[in-house]
Structure 1
Amino acid sequence: MYLVDEDSPARRTLLGLLQRAGYEVQVFAKAAALAEVASALQPGCVILDIETAGPESLTVAKALRAGRLALPMLVIGRSHGDVGYGVRAMKAGAVDYLEKPCEPAVLLTAVSAALAELRTDTERSHAYDDAKLRIAALSPREREVLEGLLAGGTNKSIGRALGLSPRTVEIHRARVMEALGARTLPEAVLTAARAGVQPTESQ
Structure 2
Amino acid sequence: MGDYTVHIVDDEEAVRKSLAFLLSMNGFAVRVHISATDFLAFAPEVRNGCLVTDLRMPDMSGVDLLRNLQAAQAMMPAIVITGHGDVPMAVEAMRAGALDFIEKPFEDKVLIEAIERAAERLVQVPSGADDVSAIQARLNELTEREQQVLAGVVAGHGNKTIAYNLNISPRTVEVHRASVMSKMQAKSLPELVRMALTVKVGLT
- The TM-score by the shorter chain falls in which range? 0.5 to 0.7
C-alpha deviation, 1:63, in angstroms: 2.5
Task: Tell whether the 8 Å contact from 2:55 to 2:90 is kept in structure 1 after alignment.
Answer: no
**Counterpart residue type for residue 93 of structure 1:** G
Identity of aligned residues (%): 31
Alignment: residue pair count = 121
C-alpha deviation, 1:8, in angstroms: 1.1
Q: Which one of 24, 29, 43 corresponds to residue 38 of structure 1?
A: 43
2:30 is equivalent to residue 22 of structure 1: no
Question: Which ranges of 4 or more aligned residues in structure 1 deviate by more than 2 Å?
Answer: 51-57, 63-70
C-alpha deviation, 1:66, in angstroms: 3.7
Task: Tell whether the 8 Å contact from 1:76 to 1:100 is kept in structure 2 after alignment.
Answer: yes
Could you tell me which runs of 5 or more consecutive residues in structure 1 were left unpaired when the two chains were aligned. 123-203
Deviations 1:31-50 (A, max 9, x none): 01111121111221010012
Larger helix share, 1 or 2: 1
Aligned to 1:115: 119
Aligned to 2:12: 7
Task: Tell whether the 8 Å contact from 1:44 to 1:70 is kept in structure 2 after alignment.
Answer: no
SS of aligned partner of 2:49: coil
Aligned to 1:158: none
Q: Which one of 66, 84, 91 corresponds to residue 88 of structure 2?
A: 84
Aligned to 2:109: 105
Larger Rg computed on CA atoms: 1
d(CA) in 1 for partners of 2:43, 2:30: 15
User: Where in structure 2 are the equivalents of 1:128-147 lying within 5 Å?
Assistant: none
d(CA) in 2 for partners of 1:70, 1:89: 13
Task: Tell whether the 8 Å contact from 1:35 to 1:60 is kept in structure 2 after alignment.
Answer: yes
d(CA) in 2 for partners of 1:28, 1:69: 16
Deviations 1:57-78 (A, max 9, x none): 4222112234443521110011
Deviations 1:99-132 (A, max 9, x none): 011110000000000001121139xxxxxxxxxx
d(CA) in 2 for partners of 1:93, 1:111: 15
Could you tell me which runs of 5 or more consecutive residues in structure 2 were left unpaired when the two chains were aligned. 1-5, 127-204
C-alpha deviation, 1:51, in angstroms: 3.1
d(CA) in 2 for partners of 1:18, 1:53: 24
Structure 1 pair 23/66, CA: closer, same or farther in 2 (3 Å)?
A: same
